[in-house]
Amino acid sequence: MKRIKLLTTSIVMVTLAFAGCSNGNQQKEDNNMKQELVLTQEWDKVFPLSDKVNHRKVTFETQYGLTLAADLYTPKDAEGKLAAIAVSGPFGAVKEQSSGLYAMRMAERGFVALAFDPSYTGESSGEPRRTASPDINTEDFMAAVDYLSKLENVDPERIGIIGICGWGGIALNAAAADTRIKATVASTMYDMTRINGNGYFDSEDKEESRHAAREAMGKQRLADPMAMAGGVIDPLPEEVPQFVKDYHAYYKTPRGYHKRSGNSNDGWPSTTSTRSAPPYS
C-alpha cells in the first residue's frame, strides 16, 4: 500500500512538472507572438483621409509568430454589426498606397475595412525585409480574418478579402483554405506564374530560357541571396511597354511614391521569385 502511495505521488509530481514546463513554454510562445511595433502615427498615406470614415492603426498576430501592422477604416455613424473586408497588395507595395485607398473607399460604402502590410513588409514584423512566402502570406490574410471576426462591430459571417495585383493569387489561396471568407476579389492585371515561366508577353517561352533563369537564380543564392532586385525602373527608358510606364507613373511620382514601399525604392531580395511564384495564377 505504501509503495502504491509513493508511486502515485511520483506520478503527480512528474505531471505537475511537465505542466509547469508546458505553461512556461506556452507563455514564451505567447510573448513571442506579440511583438511591439513602432508605428508612424501621423497620416502618411499617398491619398487624403476621407471625411466619411474613422481611421486608426492596429496590429494583429499571425500563427507564424509575426505581428502585422494595419489601418482600420470604419464608416462614420454606422450602427450594428457590419460586413468587413481585409485588403492587401500589390506585391512590393505598402498599406499607405493602393490597398489603403481600396479599404478607405470600401469603408465609405459601409464596410469595416482593414488594409495591412504583409509579413516582412512595411511596418509589419519579420526578417529579412521585403521577402515573400506563399504559406506565410496566405496566413496573413487568414490572420486578418481572425482579427476582424473578433471586432464587436463586425458580423463574422460576412467577411471578404481583396487581393490587389500580385496579392490576388494569395487571396485566392486564402479563400480556398478558409471557409470563413465569404467573398473574394482578385484585382489582378496578369498571371504572375506565367510571367515567371514565360516572360512578359511570352517573350521567353522556351525551355532554354527557363533553364537559364533557374541557373541564374541558383548562382545568385550562392553569391548574395539578399541582394535587392530593384523596384520600378527609374529613370524610365523611352522604349518600354505601357504597363511599365503606368508603374512608373504611380510608384515613382508624388501620386504614389512611399518611402517604405519596395516598388517605389529598391524592390525586394533578388531570389524572392523562387519562393513567391507558385501560388499566383
Look at residues 119, 91, 90 and name the one whose alpha carbon lies nearest to residue 102: 90
Residue % of the chain over a pLDDT of 90: 68
**What is the maximal distance between C-alpha atoms in the chain?**
93
Alpha-carbon Rg for the chain in angstroms: 23
Best mean pLDDT range from 3-7, 168-172, 175-179: 175-179
The contacts of residue 252 (CB under 8 Å, 6+ apart) are: 232, 234, 236, 264
Each residue's pLDDT tens digit, 78-136: 999 999 999 999 999 999 999 999 999 999 999 999 999 999 999 999 999 999 899 99
Fold of 53-187: Rossmann fold (3.40.50)
CB contact at 8 A, 71 and 77: no
3-state SS string over the chain? CHHHHHHHHHHHHHHHHHHHHHHHHHHHHHHHHCCCCCCCCCCCCCCCCCCCEEEEEEEEECCCCCEEEEEEEEECCCCCCEEEEEEECCCCCCCCCHHHHHHHHHHHCCCEEEEECCCCCCCCCCCCCCCCCHHHHHHHHHHHHHHHHCCCCEEEEEEEEEEECCHHHHHHHHHHHCCCEEEEEEECCCCHHHHHHHCHHHCCCCHHHHHHHHHHHHHHHHHCCCCECCCCCCCCCCCCCHHHHHHHHHHCCCCCCCCCCCCCCCCCECCCHHHHCCCCC
Return phi, psi of residue 147, to 5°: -60, -50
Residue 171: what pLDDT? 96
142: region left, alpha or beta (phi > 0 left; psi from -120 to 50 alpha): alpha
Residue 143 in this model has a pLDDT that exceeds 60 = yes
Rounded Cα distance, 84 and 261, in Å:
26
> Whole-model pTM?
0.84
The model's confidence at residue 191, banded by pLDDT at 50, 70 and 90, is confident
Task: Output phi, psi for 212, to 5 deg.
Answer: -60, -40
C-alpha cell at 81: 454589426
Higher pLDDT, 123 or 200: 123
If pLDDT is split at 50, 70 and 90, which confidence band does 273 have?
Answer: low
More reliable by pLDDT, 135 or 198: 135
pLDDT at 4 over 70: no
Quick one: average pLDDT of 50-65?
Answer: 98
Q: What is the pLDDT of residues 15-43, one digit of tens each?
A: 444 444 444 444 344 444 567 898 999 99
Q: How many residues does the chain have?
A: 281
State pLDDT tens for residues 204-257: 899 999 899 889 989 999 999 889 988 999 999 988 888 889 999 999 999 999
Confidence at 9, pLDDT banded by 50, 70, 90: very low
CB contact at 8 A, 182 and 141: no
* Residue 68 pLDDT: 98
Residue 56, beta-bridge partner list: 72
Strands 82-88 and 154-164: parallel
